[in-house]
A and B are shown apart, each in its own frame.
Chain A
Amino acid sequence: MTPFLHINGIRKTYGTVVATDHVELSIAEGEFMTFLGPSGSGKSTTLYILAGFQDPTAGDIKLRGQSILQTPSHKRNIGMVFQRYTLFPHLSVGENVAFPLRVRRMGQDEIAQKVKRALSLVRLDGFEDRMPAKMSGGQQQRVALARALVYDPPVLLMDEPLSALDKKLREEIQFEIRRIHQETGVTILYVTHDQEEALRLSDRIAIFNKGKIEQVGTGPELYANPATHFVADFIGDSAFLAGELAGVGQGRAGLRFADGSTVAAVPLHGLGVAGQAAELMLRPERIELTPEAGPEGASLPVTVEDLTFLGNNTTVSARTGWGAALTVRLNFGHPLAGRIARGDRLHIRWAPEAAHAFVKG
């Protein structure tokens, strides 16, 4: 079956700078897809190629099986909300939202009706006559959203639309965006470098790094099964313990650390052979602290270095036998919480699926 939107091997270079390199992604109709990644990883470039403001060096973009690269921006019928405020300063809110309909030569009555409905969708009923300069940043971005949706585009692009707003307002509008996505069923491609925002909004997330997509998946998938060190580091807190591979087979591996301690049968990501440098990744909330050693191969001895009470949990900073640092969280009311002190020798243990090994290189 042909995917609704297919980003097919998009590569874009500026001179010697590679902005995106073979970006490959299929997006389903009505899906909320987020591009998440650090600054300069090629998220905006991919979006701008979709919008038609940039031409890719190689690759194709297909909407319902048809390439859109030959269609100029203004005929692509795509909606977009920008990072900066882009309302037309000389037009009222109502005329801003009416603009796409006016250039489409729609009738007066139909325009009035659609504008009213679009403003109501973003909860700005009755703001038709207000000028953009007289509105807050959050309101302006909601008008921009109404303007991008009023002509019912099949795809809506959003490039960090909330990054200029403060945290509280940002969360409020994230909630609105979710509701609007559910009400309209529009396919959304959303760019952010805020992982919380990505997790809160998206059906699926594509993690960008250095112009490439490292992994695509739902939030829980990426969290539970990161494919690379980069993804594991980018989504959620994690500790990385450096060691070397000791015995590899059936997608699992053992690791040996500097002091000779070992762990066994950890899911292995990447190709590696025994003796090769690798890292063990552990999520702090999935590690358990216990007085006795756990089952062989899923446990390591540690020394407590510091304790911080944070209300709902106590964060324990600890060191392994060979001196690597990691943190463990004890929920409020945990039996050990009040009974451990600095310098205590304890053990950490984890469920077999909570740890991951990444080959280095």
Chain B
Amino acid sequence: MLLDFNKLGAWKWALSAICAVMSLFLLLPILFIVALSFGNSRWLIFPPPGWTLKWYEELFADPRWMGAALTSAKIGVIVMVISVALGLLASLALVRGTFKGREVLRAFFLTPMVLPVVIVAVALYAAFLRLGLNGTLLGFVIAHVIVALPFAIITITGALETFDPAIEDAAILCGASPWEARLRVTLPGIRHGLFSAAIFSFLISWDEVVLAIFMASPSLQTLPVKVWTTLRQDLTPVIAAASTLLVALTVLLMIAAAVLRKGKSE
């Protein structure tokens, strides 16, 4: 390789240092929140004078927080299922199809990624106002599928493109109908891609706040929205505890996705 890390000499240390500083820069706010969630100061003093679990106890005892977490999880799972299913169908058409305008369609599917989320949110809010979908579970799900789908499509088309269509042809000549071949051979063949797409779709919904603020109603809100609204009323360490749990699940799922990728490359 042209840029061999081990041959960089003094640069090696400089690069390592830059990486360390950047990681710290990215991690610091998170570490800060985690520390505060275990700190015993109601006024969020840093560093905390002592340690406690009482904010977590308060969090778990409050039905409004638990309700928001449950809503988030419910929406996340539904979004995950729908976005993987739609992503799979769209990817089959984009990768295996031979129709005209395939590239245009692919670009179209990916537009929600480049549009500012606020614009998508305002547009959906206006549309849902007419349809009466604001503040409903369905409204949340539709909004989140719109932003999660492009990621699902990218991940699944990636997996499908590396899966040789001749393998599908072989299954068909073996006697499997085209759909049976896809189900029994292609799907298991791209299962790593499907799992990654599922994890990312769930996470996008789980972490999403802009669309959720527009969709939320006092009786139906997700965890990030609850964090946001609580924050505006009073600054309590319970928010830090909730945020820590939010981040913890995200990190866990990211690790799962990384393990999946590693498993695939072996």
Contact = CB atoms under 8 A, between A and B. Distances in A.
Interface in B140-186: 164, 166-167, 169-178, 180-181, 184-185
Given A103-B184, A148-B173, 8 more contacts: A53-B169, A73-B172, A75-B175, A88-B167, A99-B171, A103-B174, A103-B176, A151-B174
Interface string B182-213: 00110011010000000000000000000000
Contact of B173 (A74, A85, A90): A74
B173 A80 contact: yes
Nearest to A76: B173
Nearest to A144: B170
A80 to B, nearest CB: 5
A148 B167 CA distance: 13
A84 B178 CA distance: 20
Interface string B14-26: 0000000000000
B187 to A, nearest CB: 9
Contacts of B174: 74, 99-100, 103, 147-148, 151
Interface of B: 164, 166-167, 169-178, 180-181, 184-185, 188-189, 191
Contacts of A103: 174-176, 180, 184
B193 to A, nearest CB: 13
B164 A86 contact: yes
Contact of A74 (B164, B166, B175): B175
21 contacts: A73-B169, A73-B173, A74-B175, A74-B176, A75-B175, A77-B175, A79-B173, A80-B173, A82-B170, A84-B166, A85-B164, A86-B166, A86-B169, A86-B170, A87-B167, A88-B167, A88-B170, A91-B188, A100-B175, A103-B180, A151-B174
Contact of B172 (A74, A79, A87, A90): A74
B167 A86 contact: yes
A124 interface: no
A51 B170 contact: no
A239 interface: no
B23 to A, nearest CB: 35
A133 B10 CA distance: 41
B175 to A, nearest CB: 5
A86 B181 CA distance: 13
A104 interface: yes
A323 interface: no
Report whether over half of chain A's contact residues are helix, strand or loop; otherwise say mixed: loop
A87 B164 CA distance: 10
A346 interface: no
A40 interface: no
Contact of A89 (B173, B176, B184, B189): B189
A309 B20 CA distance: 68
Nearest to B188: A90
Contacts of B184: 99, 103
Report whether over half of chain B's contact residues are helix, strand or loop; otherwise say mixed: helix
A139 B9 CA distance: 45
Q: How large is the interface on A (under 10, 10 to 19, 20 to 34, 35 or more residues)?
A: 20 to 34
Contact of B169 (A77, A82, A90): A82
Contacts of A74: 172-178, 180-181
A55 B92 CA distance: 22
Contacts of A307: none
Given A99-B171, A103-B176, A82 B188 contact: no
A82 B166 contact: yes
* 6 A-B pairs with the lowest CB-CB distances in the bound complex, closest first: A100-B174, A86-B170, A90-B188, A103-B175, A86-B167, A103-B176
Contacts of A99: 171, 174, 176, 184
Nearest to B173: A80
A338 B169 CA distance: 59
B98 to A, nearest CB: 12
Tell which of A51, A53, A85, A89 has the most Cβ of chain B within 10 Å.
Answer: A89
A114 B121 CA distance: 60
A77 B164 CA distance: 22
Tell which of A74, A89, A91, A148 has the most Cβ of chain B within 10 Å.
Answer: A74
Nearest to B185: A88
Contacts of A73: 169, 172-173
A104 B164 contact: no
Contacts of A224: none
A90 B193 CA distance: 14
Contacts of B172: 73-74
A151 B191 contact: no
Interface in A175-189: none
B191 to A, nearest CB: 7
A153 to B, nearest CB: 9
B74 to A, nearest CB: 31
Contacts of B185: 88
A90 B189 contact: yes
B191 A84 contact: no
Given A74-B176, A74-B177, A84 B164 contact: yes
A77 B97 CA distance: 26
Nearest to B168: A86
A86 B169 CA distance: 9
A80 B174 CA distance: 8
Nearest to A86: B170
A32 to B, nearest CB: 20
B213 to A, nearest CB: 42
A88 B189 contact: yes
Contacts of B180: 74, 103
Nearest to B181: A74
B175 A80 contact: no
